[in-house]
Chains A and B, each alone.
Chain A
């Protein structure tokens, strides 16, 4: 049974992604027997090219994708370098997992509440400083250059990259390298960039690619913060897909295929830039410069990263404030009338949707946990060496733009009469929950001293018994954290829910996005706040549970 685990996992994984992609590409070339077209043609592409604003949409897509990735990456570097020396920065580290658990959508909504012309930031300085007694006519949200969209993406991706970098730096060797460079007279910021970053980069390469792929192709943040006229390519594909004219399905498939190509091309371009940077970095290191203006850039981006984290926290808070507002007119800094009426009115509805969201997340997490544990245990019992290619496969759903394979997957689901069911949604979530849980659990699992298992075996315990009685309890904490991660991923998913659920399975995320396109800020506040809190509560529980169970075991800290 255990031997089948990896194959089963791959089956759950690769087959749907590959088939979905296949059924996206075929209609892009005019082939879709379900609609009666069995001949290949380039007509969908011609139609897509003729679509108004396509050229700007493409520039926007690429600009936002690379902009958000580069900024997040630089901020994360600055943060990690600054963390070496600055205690306050180190303390900020604590908010990172919380931010990571908070869905993109809630953060984007909160950010819009902060930076809009009527947002809190403008209110704080108006009209006494700015003279704006009416909201300024500046596009700070949904701007045509996608700057606010970049900011929204950076808000979360920075936290993600910092955590990945910290995890990669955990080995003591990096710390020692850093001290060695400092003993040679290098400023700690420069020392971090020169000797730590090059060593950990191979470990964070895939996460960086995942950030790039997401920034190039995300739909939900773009719907909230991005421009609409034209929108980024992925939103445009969605728009074409939901057009009432069925003929739009073909250019929609072409747009989704193009999105796929852009992400592939983007990752290849990034790989190219890596070579260039490595070459430059070698030369730079050999020049032996100990300090200089570059340190201000690193330090400055570290400070910017801290501000980003603070902004993200403020975004979550302001969402909560709006939910208990009755009247909040510009330029009041605080609401002039408070009320819990919105909560009362939506309590039943929110509870319903939150329960459904939790059920989907819980089910996907448990299934994924079973598969991940089976794979890891199989690996250990058969003494397999985990290969790098496996990691790439795991990252596949994170690297291929969601829209590119969900598009085709939807066609298959409809055919199977499976669309719009909870099962379909749970399955779609599994594709994204599983890799994150695997990545979260694999290291602690593999790091468990093998001598424990050998000792237990020497005492006559069967492998199953070792697994149940020794490994599971000893790894209770990482398992609980992995579950919290999986749950948070599930709660945040938008497109997979929308496609697999055929619009009928409503979760906190789909509801928040729908409301954000045309709702009352107070109601948006209620839904976005619950959306942000649900994964946080689960995360806190995941930390607390093992601590409570093992409260009398000092060695389980």
Chain B
């Protein structure tokens, strides 16, 4: 709880809706580079918890508790001020921009100059195996390519933490393993505290970190 602590900390987080409690006094620390997995069936509140951390909680929910990122309390910050990157189930590339345009949109504003920005975007595309895709229409790419582009867009924004909301569930099996490895390696390489939500045991195993089952916690068990 010291000011200098690194990583993502959830402190006594409780989320309820109309009397039903989804998450109760969840306390959790995710260290830099660590990938913590949250599992539970549909409706158990996994995505709601991510929404709370990311700042997108629907106003219908009542939430308590504190979220700290690298020692700063971000609980009441609006989503865009949290420096928390999110990957959703869908890639959500903006269809009106090119692939490069999408990445540039994500690229941190501290990077100045058209040429430098372009260079970093191209570099990210290369890393994702998407070299030469700068001017492509996202709609013309395969699901795997789009998923990688979405990750690079998120990473270019230089987040301090990463939230993964079942980003692999819509991909087919082979693609899924590749992309999962791709995401995890980037998250570890950048030392991002990462919270993964999934209902797939394989995802949890691949993540290699702790696994928290929301249903078990609620029923008195511990993660």
Contact = CB atoms under 8 A, between A and B. Distances in A.
Q: A and B bound?
A: yes
Interface of A: 85, 87, 176-177, 179-188, 191, 194-195, 198-199, 282, 285-291
A61 B22 CA distance: 60
Sorted nearest first, the 5 A-B pairs with minimum C-beta distance are A286-B104, A183-B86, A182-B79, A198-B96, A180-B92
Contacts of A191: 80
Contact of A184 (B85, B101, B111): B85
Interface string B101-138: 10011111101001001000000000000000000000
Contacts of A184: 80, 85, 105-106, 153-154, 157
B88 A180 contact: yes
B85 to A, nearest CB: 6
A199 B94 contact: yes
Contacts of B104: 285-288
Given A182-B79, A185-B80, A288 B94 contact: no
A285 B101 contact: yes
A282 B92 contact: no
Interface in B79-104: 79-81, 83-86, 88, 90, 92, 94-97, 100-101, 104
Contacts of B88: 176, 179-180
Nearest to A189: B80
Interface size class of B (residues with CB under 8 A): 20 to 34
A288 B55 contact: no
15 contacts: A177-B92, A177-B94, A179-B56, A180-B92, A182-B80, A184-B154, A184-B157, A185-B81, A186-B80, A195-B105, A199-B94, A282-B101, A287-B117, A288-B108, A289-B109
A285 B105 contact: yes
B7 interface: no
Nearest to B118: A286
Main secondary structure of the interface of A (DSSP, over half): helix
Nearest to B106: A184
B87 to A, nearest CB: 9
Contact of A183 (B59, B117, B154): B154
B54 interface: yes
B19 interface: no
B86 A180 contact: yes
A195 B94 contact: yes
Given A191-B80, A286-B101, A290-B109, A182 B92 contact: no
A408 B78 CA distance: 58
A289 B104 CA distance: 10
A179 B117 CA distance: 23
B24 to A, nearest CB: 26
A194 B94 CA distance: 10
